[in-house]
Amino acid sequence: MDTKKRVGLRIRAIRKQKELTQDQLAELMGRSVDAISNLERGVSHPSFETLERLSETLEVPVKSFFEFEGGADISAKRATLLEELATVATQLKDKELEIGVKQLKALVR
């Protein structure tokens, strides 16, 4: 999967973590819903200005859009699931995260 799509998946995961719809994010940024959709689907590259606005609007550092889970050759489905898992995990308290890790390990066995 290419970087453009991976960045789009990160933007989507962070937006969902912040419990915003594409409409809401578009309004906050002064962009169209189509522009947000194109970014999230990896159809268009975000400019530096757009990355800065996303960072400010979503209250995350710019680098967070480039923190990918998994390797470069994973499927879109797997990349999406890994991004969602990472996003959910960051919201957990230490004890909850510990329980979640134990449950995931049990699934692997």
Q: What is the pLDDT along the chain (109 residues), one digit of tens a residue?
A: 688 888 998 899 889 888 899 999 999 999 999 999 999 999 998 999 999 999 999 999 999 888 776 655 667 788 778 878 888 888 889 999 999 999 999 998 8
**CATH number for the domain formed by residue range(s) 3-108:** 1.10.260.40
| Distance (Å) of CA 73 to CA 4, 23, 68 | 13, 31, 12
Could you tell me which of 21, 4, 2 has the C-alpha nearest to residue 12?
21
3-state secondary structure 78-90: HHHHHHHHHHHHH
Question: Helix 22-29 and helix 48-58: axis angle, to 10°?
Answer: 110
Domain-wise residue ranges, the chain: 3-108
What number of other Cβ atoms are within 10 A of residue 35's Cβ?
18
